[in-house]
Structure 1
Amino acid sequence: MHYELCDFYRRDTSFDFNEEANEIDWLSLKSGQRIEVGKPLVFNVDRIDSYINDYDLLPTSNTPLVSERFKILFSDLKDDLQFVKATIVGGNNRLNEDYYFMNVLNVIPIMDKNRSVYEIKKYGKAEVMTIKELYITDLTGHSIVRMAEHKSYLIVTDDFRKRCINANLKGINFVPEGHSAYK
């Protein structure tokens, strides 16, 4: 069984990659390549909540920010993950430097197009895929991958999910393959 890794946070917000403050462009964060930067990556949020450090995964636009606990738990996955120090800047320039950008190093075509239910719409030259029911072929020996067909999807194995649950990590939801919000 495979799962989509999703975040959950107490309020509706997003920790956004700050392109102006960073040395790299946000698209390179989804490339599956190791990144080298001379300083922590900067993310912005409207305010830094008093409970932020209760969470091990923060809501972002598919550029996951994870806690030190998460980083330590998965430090053995050197072929799958790279952790890059991050600085979160909130309102009134309050800082939180307790998180890491989780760079998923494998972008692999894993969507079972025969079993999955999806549609592709064209907007000019751009194609946008909407996945209504996702099935996975195989992660080919990896614990976590970014799905090549739709790079916003992070797919994990059942073992990865169990490690998160056993460590009591917070702010993480797992959507099982085959789940559909359209049914």
Structure 2
Amino acid sequence: MFFKMQEFYYKDIYFCYSDKNAISYVDALKSTSSKIDNMYYDVDCLDDIVNQYDILPTLGLPLVSQRFFDLFKDKLGKEINLIPAVIMDSEGRVNSHFYALQVLTCYECVDFVRSHISYKNYGNRLWMTIKNLIIDMNKVGSASIFSLKEKHGYIIVNNTVKEQCEKLKGFEFKYISE
């Protein structure tokens, strides 16, 4: 059983992958390098509530807490990298209590026949929207956390990872049909 990992937050805000980063957003999603010292994120306003959450809504690699780090340290270097993150707001406040989650395992596993997918042109790019994701289970084996080659930014987890994350604040999961 697999689930798409998602997040919720108490207000409508995004922590945005900063142009201060040494690599682009797309390269960060695809990269498996552990040689990055920090990932930088920008947000309009930082408050104290941010530290109550274990995952933050991002444009870029997901931001996860020290509690997430502690729960999943056995997966470091195998299935995930956790890169220290620096979050800065427009007033100059800084929060360094989070990590950028980089998923190392990536599979080409979308079942295009049974999934509900639409496409839209944005300029000269074709953008895929997945309304109902179905994955080919034979292509993912016993993976516990992975991303999709066909759709960057989707993080898929098995039931064990989902149950561990349910102890944390801010995680939501959408069931993926088999």
Q: TM-score, normalised by structure 1?
A: 0.89
2:17 touches 2:60 (CA, 8 Å); kept in 1? Answer: no
> Is 1:13 equivalent to 2:13 in the alignment?
yes
Q: Deviations over 1:85-110 (max 9, x none)?
A: 01110131001110000111122112
Q: Counterparts in 2 of 1:52-91, with a 5 A limit?
A: 52-78=50-76, 79-91=78-90
> Is 1:129 equivalent to 2:115 in the alignment?
no
SS at match of 1:51: helix
Partner of 2:92: 93
Tell me the distance in 2 between the aligned counterparts of 1:106 and 1:15.
24
Distance verdict in 2 for CA 1:143–1:62, change over 3 Å: farther
Tell me the distance in 2 between the aligned counterparts of 1:157 and 1:129.
24
Q: Counterparts in 2 of 1:135-154, with a 5 A limit?
A: 135-138=134-137, 139-154=140-155
Does 137-146 or 47-56 show the bigger shift? 137-146
Unpaired stretches in structure 1, ≥5 consecutive residues: 179-183
**Backbone CA RMSD of aligned residues:** 1.5
Partner of 1:28: 27
Partner of 1:120: 119
Q: CA deviation at 1:32?
A: 4.3
Tell me the distance in 1 between the aligned counterparts of 2:38 and 2:121.
37
Partner of 2:46: 48
Aligned residue pair count: 174
Partner of 2:171: 172
Tell me the distance in 2 between the aligned counterparts of 1:25 and 1:125.
19
1:16 touches 1:44 (CA, 8 Å); kept in 2? Answer: yes
Distance verdict in 2 for CA 1:123–1:17, change over 3 Å: closer
1:32 touches 1:107 (CA, 8 Å); kept in 2? Answer: no
1:32 touches 1:106 (CA, 8 Å); kept in 2? Answer: no
Q: Deviations over 1:35-94 (max 9, x none)?
A: 422x42111110112211110000002410000010110111131100110111013100
1:81 touches 1:103 (CA, 8 Å); kept in 2? Answer: yes
SS at match of 1:92: coil
Higher-strand-fraction structure: 2
1:85 touches 1:99 (CA, 8 Å); kept in 2? Answer: yes
Query: What amino acid is the match of 1:67?
Result: S
Tell me the distance in 2 between the aligned counterparts of 1:124 and 1:91.
30
